[in-house]
Amino acid sequence: MKLQALHIPRGLRGQGLGEAQAYDITLDDGRVASVEPARDSHVRGTLISCPVDAHVHIDKNYTVRDVGPANGNLFAAIGRMEEKRALWSVEHFAQRMERAAQQAWRCGTRALRTHLDWPRPEAPRSLLAFEQLRERWRGRLELQFVSLTPLDVFADAEAGGRIARAVRQSGGVLGAFVYRNEGLVHKLGRVFDLAQEHGLALDFHVDEGLDADATGLRAIAQLTIARGSSGPRVVCGHACSLSVQPAAQAQDTLALCASAGIHLVALPTTNLYLQGAWDATPVPRGITRLREAAAAGLRPALATDNVQDAFYPYGSYDLLETFGLGVQMAHLAPAGDWLDAVTTHPAAALGLSWDGRIAPGCPADLVVLAATDEYELLDPEGRARTVIRAGRVLQQQDKEQAP
């Protein structure tokens, strides 16, 4: 297959592609065979590697009709979910997870990392549904999971050990919900110990609120630095409080994150909706300092987070929708330069085997967007896309039959 006169954003170009305005690309046997400067300089679209969604919650999606939206109150949402979760069967989880995977796949997503609520030492029912889903989608959609446990649970060494063992057995990532906890550094230290002991990567929900004294991100960066090169790969999601801290303090934390090699993930939909006062139009936006993070040397990602649940009652698994919202709300310009935040940056955060850069030899898992320049990227017509998986255009019947 040949693709002609497509713009490839700079951050997505593999080595040696140079500075052409557009490229002609040949695909062969499921891979990119060649990438050459286009003969016709009239740009016909934008080529990106398939997006990677670094942070979702497919164990609670589509439940807002049952649970109700917790307008602006994260902890109310957590409480309501807690009551309902016990009533959900494996089949109930499985149906909702499958719906998410189908939509992500149709939209071109190649990998998806979900958090699974894991409030007690025993593995949640959702894990079985997830493992079946991961098996069904193997080779099409790479699925990863993170255990999402309140940090305080790790104060109990036995409980923490049980969780870490189960996560390792199921091939997952260890996680925790961190927000202004008592003895925060000590408890985080336990989580790092468990990760090292069991060879697990880490992924935190950290500082998801607008209290300026929520400084979990800083503590995680310091711990990561202290553990050195033998420490785990660390992803931090949310970091909302960074947006309301004094600029100098935030910069200092981001510099620590950069030297720690932390992967920062922002979740615009949920945090724009959930954070901020609900008695009037909120001025605080809830989204973390993405431009400052990039300036400090981090490679931040944008991800979907909640879809139609108590935390965020709207949304979908079209990561390019989230990208568009992030561009507008966090002033990410030029937008074309930020496509990294849904492709190469999350690929690094998830430790994927392909970094998402397009070059001869890379997988032909690509998305052609109709947008001919960055100004059309947020336009519904510009965002119209052709999804290519393993060198074949994903046709409507593939979509219906998948997996």
Which residues contact Zn ion (rule: CB under 5 A)? 305
Q: Is 208 a catalytic residue?
A: yes
Structure tokens that stand for 96 in this block = 């909702």
CA dist., res. 221 & res. 225, Å (int):
6
Catalytic residue among 19, 158, 208, 321: 208
What's the angle, vertex CA 91, arms to CA 85 and CA 93, rounded to 5? 45
Minimum Å gap between C-beta 80 and Zn ion is 16
Of residues 305 and 365, the one with the C-beta less far from Zn ion: 305
CA dist., res. 43 & res. 119, Å (int):
51
Minimum Å gap between C-beta 196 and Zn ion is 24
Amino acid at 96: R
**16 in helix, strand or coil?**
coil
CA dist., res. 127 & res. 385, Å (int):
33
Of residues 305 and 321, the one with the C-beta less far from Zn ion: 305
Of residues 292 and 305, the one with the C-beta less far from Zn ion: 305
Half-sphere exposure (CA, 13 Å, Cβ side) for 211? Answer: 12
Of residues 3 and 56, the one with the C-beta less far from Zn ion: 56
What's the angle, vertex CA 239, arms to CA 234 and CA 245, rounded to 5? 130
From the centroid of its chain, how far is CA 124?
Answer: 22
Of residues 146 and 388, the one with the C-beta less far from Zn ion: 146
346 near 363, Cβ under 8 Å?
no
Minimum Å gap between C-beta 148 and Zn ion is 8
Of residues 305 and 376, the one with the C-beta less far from Zn ion: 305
| Nearest to 317, CA basis, from 113, 134, 139 | 113
Minimum Å gap between C-beta 31 and Zn ion is 34
Closest residue to Zn ion: CB criterion: 305
Percent of residues in the chain assigned helix, strand, coil, to nearest 5: 40, 20, 40
**Which residue shows structure tokens 């958090």?**
115
Minimum Å gap between C-beta 57 and Zn ion is 6
Minimum Å gap between C-beta 239 and Zn ion is 12
Amino acid at 356: G
Catalytic center residues: 208
